[in-house]
Structure 1
């Protein structure tokens, strides 16, 4: 099977809820970082060779970021952060552009991008993102799990919406036709996966929707895979343990599952791939 791109969009209106969600995700980000410290480069020979050929260095330094900061300068926001629907039911560029104009948002054009980009001069970012551990490191630059929320924009359409943060000089690639440059680019969150962490992400997103982001939308091959199963689990646990204890217990289970999956894939890479270079 090919890789899959998971996508999510949502709005978390309460600052307290945003902080609380970030507190949980920080725990997961620190667990994840420990794996990157031990395995900064791909384990398998073939993936190492591909990285060398592409000039991709081993991952060093922080693998996660925590935001609760004001941002000023030239901020460009992809209209996809508020686009309705995914894939076949995705809102068209024309429909999105009209909705942005109705909301009074300035639309800017960028090379190699859709016409539906929004320009701001200030905002606030709050939340957590991290580079998801994979001992193959298949998709550098498209491997970040982001639950960062945009606020203080002056526009209700953008307030408290999920974004993925790309700063100039770190992730942004300014156009040659844009001499002023972009200080911060905010896109719609996506994460590219291949087998590893797919079911985990489904469950994590269901947990986030149940407890923090009521209107969260999520797509991985289909809309909300296995969500009835997860929702039944959350409901039964809440009835038995109470909402807060059930939330904590479910998150602890998610962290345990994450470590099991990381360990399993490390073992698979070390046993099956490193010696013969197959993938």
Structure 2
């Protein structure tokens, strides 16, 4: 069985694949100081609740955008699974072209999302990942990564608004009631400005990227808050929450298939 670990700036996903399907998934808050032993205690308890144990996993793949955590995640695989993990950006061959000026700057999550999208959706793509940052990756029809636009994530923007303005409260991100853009109180006004502002950001950047690309493109939305925009934006053709783990599985299979 394969243990896939996808670590973002906010959350870390642990998923188990039995060779045919994903049989378990768990999320934890990302904590760069968490040790391999702490991960093992937490994970072993969740595995037991699912009727599994550490010993059944004989492979591991890791994608992380938090460099200081990779050491501990690698030690988790080595010490408790007795396997050498595949690590995106280190010893894993991706099998795609990264056509940007500095390929080493492409985040592991963006690379994996590009692969996860390319194996399902044909043609040229825009992959929008809504997380701590909102990224717009351009993926060519041959799977190559062509470039990206990066904006602050919606939660980050709302938090910055609260932190910088003394009288503005911390509020939850949600679609404004009645779909109105005119808030009648401070909370509603903040929700309207941030939510509809992000819808406009998505629609505007997608239109600009398509104009610069000059060819038809399919737009895929993924990430922790992407579902928030379903029905609000006309720019996203498909909402796909499984891009990342699908991409991790594909990279694992490509590396296992190497002679």
What is the TM-score with the length of structure 2 in the denominator? 0.30
Where relative contact order (Cα < 8 A, 6+ residues apart) is larger, the structure is 1
